[in-house]
Amino acid sequence: MFRKIIFVLILLLLGSCGVSKKRTVKRKTYKVTVAATPKDSSITSESTVINTPEKKLSKADDIINTALTFSGVRYKYGGTTKKGMDCSGLLYVSFGAHDVPLPRVSYVMANEGKRIRLRQVLKGDLLFFKTSRRGKRINHVGMVVAVENGEIKFIHASSSRGVTVSSLKEGYWKSAFVKATRVL
């Protein structure tokens, strides 16, 4: 019985949305700037919300702003609060706050919306990844927050850095990328 419990716990850990990468070199610190709307003030992943009372924000901008309020929140498998959250929990809460229902887990979320090519992505689109070497299904998701000069920046929750903004140009994410979908 004890072996079965240990086996189930190991399966849950391997199938989690978490992403950790072994590094042998010193960890670099990335600073990513994300613009909410064209010609608006820039915000960083450490910022929370963009204040632009004179302009009406799009639904994608509203959802992105909601997701950015969770920047820095630690990773917690199955989490959906500021105490901790996982990648699909971040998007489930952010989209749900704006009346856009999404499934709770990333591999089911990947079946929602319309599949698009990477060069067609816009703010608010979803990016799906396979981060496990042994796993055969999607286990990680992020949302595009900016596309600038061919660089795609996305917000997600990783087990090593929590809720953060990353670039698809980073080798790890580029190699783990599976597909992009549009749900808005």
Which range (12-16, 68-72, 92-96) has the least confidence?
A: 12-16
Q: Hey, how many other C-beta atoms are within 10 angstroms of the C-beta on 89?
A: 25
Residue at 1 is within a domain: no
Tell me, what DSSP letter sits at residue 165? E
Residue at 132 is within a domain: yes
Per-residue pLDDT, 132: 87
What is the number of domains present in the chain? 1
Give the active site residue among 62, 71, 102, 140.
Answer: 140
Indicate the angle between helix axes 87-96 and 59-68, nearest 10 degrees: 130
Range of the domain at 82: 30-49+56-182
Q: Which residue has the tokens 């952010």?
A: 94
- In this prediction the pTM is 0.72
Please check the confidence at residue 168 and state whether its pLDDT lies above 80.
yes
Residue at 15 is within a domain: no
Residue at 97 is within a domain: yes
Token digits for 166?
Answer: 């990353």
Give the active site residue among 34, 36, 85, 87.
Answer: 87
Which range (38-42, 54-58, 85-89, 173-177) has the least confidence?
A: 38-42
Task: Mark whether 140 is an active-site residue.
Answer: yes
pLDDT band for 29, please (50, 70, 90 cuts).
very low
Residue type, 54: E
Give the active site residue among 156, 157, 159, 183.
Answer: 156
Residue at 21 is within a domain: no
Task: Mark whether 98 is an active-site residue.
Answer: no
pLDDT digits (tens, 9 = 90+) for 125-135: 999 999 988 87
Mean pLDDT value across residues 132-154: 92
Following DSSP, what letter does each residue of 89-152 receive, concatenated? HHHHHHHHTTT----SSHHHHTTSSEEE-GGG--TT-EEEE---SS--S--EEEEEEEEETTEE
166 with 156: CB under 8 angstroms? yes
Per-residue pLDDT, 36: 47
Q: Does residue 76 come out as left (phi exceeding 0), alpha (psi in the -120 to 50 range) or beta?
A: beta
Task: Mark whether 17 is an active-site residue.
Answer: no
Residue at 148 is within a domain: yes
| Residue 161's CATH number | 3.90.1720.10
Alpha-carbon gap, residue 70 to 94, rounded angstroms: 9
Please check the confidence at residue 44 and state whether its pLDDT lies above 60.
no
